[in-house]
Amino acid sequence: MTTNRLRLTQEKYQKWKCKHMSDTPYICWKRGAFVIAEDILNGKVTSFQVVQAAIQTCLRNSKLNAVVIERFALALKEAKAADLMIQSGKVVGPLHGVPFTVKESLGFEGLPHTVGSMKRIEKYASNDATVVARLKKAGAIVIGLSNCSEMALWPECSNPVYGKTSNPWNLNYTSGGSSGGDAAAVGAGIVPFGVGTDGGGSIRIPAAFCGVYGHKPSGGLVPLTGHPPLHDTGLENQDAQKVAAFFCAGPIAKTAKDLMPLLKIMAGPDGLDKNVKHLPAFSSCDINITEISVFMCSSPKVTFARAVAANVSEPIDVMGQMFASMGANVQSWNHHAIKDALMIWIEAVQHLSIAELISDGQGIRPIQELVKYMLHKSHYSLPAILATLTYQYSLPILKKCVSLDPKTRLGLQKDIENQLGDNGILIMPVFPSAAPKHGKMLFHPADFAYAGLFNALELPATSVPLGFDENGLPKSAQIIAAKNMDHLCIAAACLIEEKYKSSLTRSAD
């Protein structure tokens, strides 16, 4: 496959830089996307300068392996065109001239759409995914495609096609997955935002690991069109449409203030994702905290997952104290069904055929592939093989031991929504620990369920950074609200950002 895959040595970087760019003092990571757009519009900086600053930062941080398919020359050309449009009094939209990254699992017309699978090595997207098209229409400029896990099905960002993506705070640790490329790119200050997807924490987990903000929208709000399982022929598949109800695209951003305007651009029906039927009216993120009820669950117990570490629960408790000091009604909360988070998620996505998705419809013999993997001859990643083994052999046994009754999921959803109402938020861990070292997630495959639960419940959830642990890695929490109350969890994230200045950005070089 001939692609513009990003594999540049420092020598090649210097040659490329001399040919295409000059140094610019404008630093993307100090500004949010809409502040950058305003600066471009007001002539404080040009789109060309901003885009080349993003490219320079990307190249300096190539060890991250965050951006795996580059379109630098085209992005610079588009930036020049954006500047000419401003000179002639034409502005495309609210993100005019602002650079961003797109998860490779989301279709981008004319570029590879492998989703990290060797079975799709020759696949190119024939159309833009709906959210990509909408962000481009708003004037944003894609500098490249970001890395993801194989078929976007693992909370660590690694695959046989592009390799692994590292954490911008420590290259020995994972950036998380499956949207780990976007989170690493935003965390390293390459771009002010990226567009990822979340089917089991795939936006929130990498955002948490990389110290940035990530929002999983309410179910039925943002189309998944152009992303598995609604890719290729999936749009006509009823099971694919059923599973897609629990998956969604969403923003990963440098600043919490960008989440709602980005969500507004991305949201609404496209006529293809049958789960997105209407666009609810968005409420303002300007809330009176004294009218908000804050429910704290800093140490939930989830069966099969690790217990929440003290250095994860403690900052969440401090967060509750902060809201109490601001006048919010803060109280502890738990629910007996939280422990069943993993099984609730499995029940929700039971129509998903892991084997079909992993093999791109070609079929897979997981035991044979496991042997081939040990001999370094398999085209699949180990997580993909183990996921298929689990679904084919372990899950049927597990189903006999644990109920997969949808009443559990629907009952919990109803109870949480009744508890939260239209003025409540729930604060919980995204993950039981900070970012693990590369490969360690294999030993704790159920840990994603802390985040994945809210995919199954179709509730909005925002990941927020909360400083650092003793290893210098970001700490985090997730804020949940009732369905279609996305503005509440985003508003709370904005308050935390303002109070603690908690957005974290660091170059990995």
Q: Which residues are catalytic?
A: 103, 178, 202
Pair type for strands 170-174 and 67-70: unpaired
Q: 117 vs 196, 228, 294, 380, 497, CA distance in Å?
A: 17, 12, 42, 7, 37
Query: 166 near 143, Cβ under 8 Å?
Result: no
**Please, what is the Cα angle at 182 between 370 and 446, to 5 degrees?**
45
Number of helices and strands (H, E) in the chain? 18, 15
CA pair distance 92, 47, nearest whole angstrom: 13
Q: Which H or E run contains 332?
A: strand 329-332
Q: Where are the alpha helices (DSSP H) in 354-405?
A: 354-358, 366-374, 382-389, 395-401
Q: Write out the DSSP string of 179-245.
A: SHHHHHHHHTTS-SEEEEEESSSTTHHHHHHHTSEEEEPPTTSS--TTSTTSSTTGGG-HHHHHHHT
Structure tokens at 178: 């499956």
Q: 357 vs 152, 232, 354, 360, CA distance in Å?
A: 10, 11, 5, 5
State the CB neighbour count (10 A cutoff) for residue 317: 15
Residue 460: name the closest of 416, 502, 500 by CA: 416
The set of residues, in sequence order, having a beta carbon less than 8 Å from that of 266 and lying 6+ positions away, is 131, 134, 135, 195, 217, 222, 249, 250, 251
CA pair distance 223, 127, nearest whole angstrom: 14
Query: 266 near 131, Cβ under 8 Å?
Result: yes
Sign, Cα dihedral of 54, 60, 64, 65: positive
Query: 407 near 463, Cβ under 8 Å?
Result: no
